[in-house]
Structure 1
């Protein structure tokens, strides 16, 4: 493998940390999912759980404040260009120092743990191949302006290999590009920055995408009222992602109880499947977005992130591609949790393609119940949470909603 040189004896430092990032499939495991038979709207959803994928991030910095920001977030392995600097920084924080020597990276026992390679042409990219790898970790510094396509080529070339491949990123946005290349992404990034803002943004990115540890608790609620109420302005949310049977958005008239509204991924005799769409409800309704927040449906815009949830509470983020607001006939649905203490409500368009998600553990095997077939006594899934909100953020205050 062609290895570039870097300035030895540099005062540069790398802050190394690991974070978990959920992805639909790992580099080592291809997950093939066959489309389930769509005989009716009442059907079972896939129970396959997402696979957890570990990502490695090294932060390259000369800024002590950036180092402190990493330590405060639990990241404690650092790489230094000089042992003097490593000892200096070790005096202010409990860290695990590693060291750069030219194009190579060593641990405290002088064992080589990584090599650094510059890639600025297709020929240099070809030299970075699994058969040429002699160390556990490979750090690639993409030069010449091209990043996405070379990163995708590396992901394809190294799939199934044990080596860890990282790319040098000069900001959190570039890091995200490398982490998502060909959906799986590289194994990690080297974040070469001197601003704490990039540390914060990348950590926030991992927090928002760390779906494996963020399963949302859902509970059953019993439908107590179904009433056609007249016309209203309802919102269709079209995503830049496909949804599977059993997935939808959390929507509700009250933030204290959000209904799981199914996507239009199911085919019928009268209309084609639209697996990117959720006919979510009227403009006033709340919808769950990342960060434990809610947004009004009327506030959604192209490019905004939203949370897609399945009937088991597993969630993932998706990007809003388009929002359509149109006047349509509405139906009011009210439901009570099984304790009988709280009542939740939601307005939905009165159409066969609009459905609420129910638990699939019962004998009926139903997953989605169309609002046109919904009756008193049916059980649907809701998410219970705090009701008081300020700009979508949950707060502690007295509130009455009815």
Structure 2
């Protein structure tokens, strides 16, 4: 097998030539970055594509994934695709993957049993890169691999056939593996994986929360309010972004704090009435009434750090409500939210330098002049997506 492709540069000069032109056009550093592995303990994940479908190739390249794996007998396909797109082709050999210069890029192993996984080893010269095909099983082996390679410089990519399968590998034991090889012939799988990364990219950026001053408080009547129970524990300062209008979402604190009234429930946010908007991944909003088990929401803290959480349960119950309005000093706009009138429901306060910080203000203790945190954004929404159009909400 080592002599099967003695020199891709000689056997397929156009492929090698196109790669050299790619280096000249993009520059050595950019090419290196495009094809480099990412350490498994980094947030950024590596994606390679294994396909013989031209539409899948096009969709992947358009989304920034340029590394493609080919069987050793499909050099003709690599040549054809290299003539229409800037790609980095790799070829499967026995126990490894090689590039166009016949250099070993990664070890390759197919594992179908716990015994094979336990015995799995890679040579020292390939110790920083490995592609694993776990065949018909995934979750526990993925966790074992994450545990085995933690603290090393080895990047492990696992072959996946669907977005949901890839998600298991990318999130195993919280940190996940270094990346995935999407072995698919369906364009939809590429689009779904890109959507997954787009939603997770929210976590890499801080939200710009704005200080607002409470301007009006009014006890109203009864309404159907929503408690959102997520599948994660929240810490002091964390909650959900909720508001009557999408243009201004209040940071509503979780029930993680100890209280004289009820036991701490660090998985819960008493979020507001059914009509209210709540922030969800991808820069979108959802009505609280639309949330259900399995959906995702954005959890945010006082600094604006955000993370994605899965909804485990939603409770809708009729409770007394209180109207809260706030204004930002630099503008005349008024923002409002309705919340259950209860001591365990609170809004998050801004940070003020070092020292003791007030994390939350219960709505029952709110006063005109108190400061709370808002997320300001465009007001017009269509199915939760921000759009540019004239709109008046009051």
Within the alignment, does 1:77 sit opposite 2:67 as a pair? yes
Relative contact order, CA 8 A, sep 6+: which one is greater? 1
Shift of 1:100: 2.5
Structure 2 alignment gaps of length 5 or more: 6-32
Aligned to 1:105: 97
1:383 partnered with 2:343: no
Q: What whole-Å deviation, never above 9, does each CA across 1:173-218 have from its counterpart, x for those lacking one?
A: 1111111111111111111001111011011111111234332221
Match of 1:194 in 2: 185
Shift of 1:17: 7.1
- The answer to which of 360-369 and 305-314 deviates more is 360-369
Distance 1:133 1:168, change over 3 A: farther
- The residue correspondences of 1:273-284 to structure 2 (distance < 5 A) are 273-284=264-275
CA distance in 1, matches of 2:137, 2:228: 34
Aligned pairs for 1:159-198 within 5 A: 159-198=150-189
- Report which of the two has the higher share of strand: 1
**Residues 137, 84 of structure 1: alpha-carbon distance in 2 compared, 3 angstrom cutoff:** same
Deviation at 1:168, TM superposition (A): 1.0
Partner of 1:136: 128
> Is structure 2 residue 353 aligned with structure 1 residue 366?
no
CA RMSD of aligned residues (A): 2.5
More helix by share: 2
Partner of 2:23: none
Contact 1:335 1:345 in 2 (8 A): yes
Q: 2:57 aligns with which of 39, 50, 67?
A: 67
- C-alpha separation in 2, matches of 1:18 and 1:72: 16
- In the other structure, the counterpart of 2:83 is 91
Q: Secondary structure at the match of 1:332?
A: strand
CA–CA distance in 2 between the matches of 1:308 and 1:80? 41
SS at match of 1:224: strand
List per-residue Cα deviations over 1:310-361 (Å, max 9, x = no partner).
1222211111111111111111100001213210000111111111112112
Query: What count of residue pairs does the alignment treat as equivalent?
Result: 363
Aligned residue for 2:365, secondary structure, equals coil
Deviation at 1:254, TM superposition (A): 0.8
Look up the SS of the partner of 1:396 in the other structure.
coil
Q: CA deviation at 1:20?
A: 11
The answer to whether the Cα contact below 8 Å between 2:40 and 2:179 also exists between their aligned partners in 1 is: no
Give how far 1:130 is off.
7.0
Counterparts in 2 of 1:133 and 1:247: CA distance versus 1, 3 Å: farther
Contact 2:245 2:336 in 1 (8 A): yes
- What TM-score comes out, normalization by structure 1 length? 0.84
Structure 1: where are the runs of 5+ without partners?
Answer: 10-15, 29-51
Matched, 1:225 2:206: no
Map 1:239-388 onto structure 2 (within 5 A).
239-362=230-353, 365-388=357-380
Superposition deviation, residue 95 in structure 1: 2.2
C-alpha offsets along residues 146-194 of structure 1, whole Å, 9 cap, x if unaligned? Answer: 2111111111111111111111111111111111111111111111001
Are the aligned partners of 1:261 and 1:278 in contact in 2 as well (CA < 8 Å)?
A: yes
TM-score, L = length of structure 2: 0.86
